[in-house]
Amino acid sequence: MPTSPTESALTIQGVLFDMDGTLIDSEPLWHRHEEELMASFEYTWLEEDQRYCLGGPLSKVGRYMYEKVGKRETPEFFTDELIRRVENDLRNGVLFMPGALALAESIHEAGIPLALVSASPRNLMDAALEGVAMSSRYGRELFSLSISANDVVKTKPDPEGYISAAQQLGVDIRQCLALEDSMTGIHSATGSGARTIAIPHYITVQETPQLRVIPSLENLTIHDLQHLFDSMTP
């Protein structure tokens, strides 16, 4: 969506990035470890299982796995084992969703506060941030702050994480733009009052006055974001 840099002033007060499936391409990583873990219990992990668990929270995934294998082990066993496996991989580097790193860096360069808001636990988020820092020329300075599941009382789909991010950045949540890929995250972002862009992968999302849907972040500029932001009402 080509726009002129002079078309509109940058009025976005903060950009709030989801992590898995929006910033980093971690879904294939989760899928592989889910398949392998469930295969060790003689369960074949199907696309419908993956779709149900998309967007977390991880406690939901652990309970779902526990139920599917006939209540062997505990829900916490499956959650902890998944986290352990994925954390080890993330610390060695991350793959980004198309256009996500370039967009995040352009937001940082524009002086707009940038936060990472995830339903993942703190240790996974820190592992991912290590991987992000290895790839970004801004290192650990790319994101002003990060909000994990451990930093809130209620994680996504509750809006607390997004509300907390805006408060800590010192900005009005209604003047923030959230980027999400799952229904869990979209409900969290829109429920907070943030204007929201959805980049869905496995789901169909309907636009609302507060929500826009795009196929990818690839080749998206800061002025494209502003154009989308201006087209929405909080």
pLDDT < 50 stretches in the chain: 1-6
Q: What is the DSSP letter of 20?
A: B
pLDDT of residue 203: 86
Q: How far is CA 176 from CA 6, 119, 166, in A?
A: 21, 19, 8
CA distance 220 to 224: 6
Cα 161 to chain center, whole Å? 11
End-to-end CA distance of the chain: 22
pLDDT of res. 81: 95
Alpha helix (H) residue ranges in 46-159: 47-53, 58-68, 75-90, 100-109, 122-135
List, for residues 185-196, the tens digit of each pLDDT value: 999 999 999 999
Give the pLDDT confidence score for residue 62 in this predicted structure: 95
Position 1 scores a pLDDT of 46
Q: What angle do CA 21, 156, 131 make, to 5 degrees?
A: 40
- Report pLDDT digits (tens) over 48-80: 998 888 766 788 999 999 999 999 999 999 999
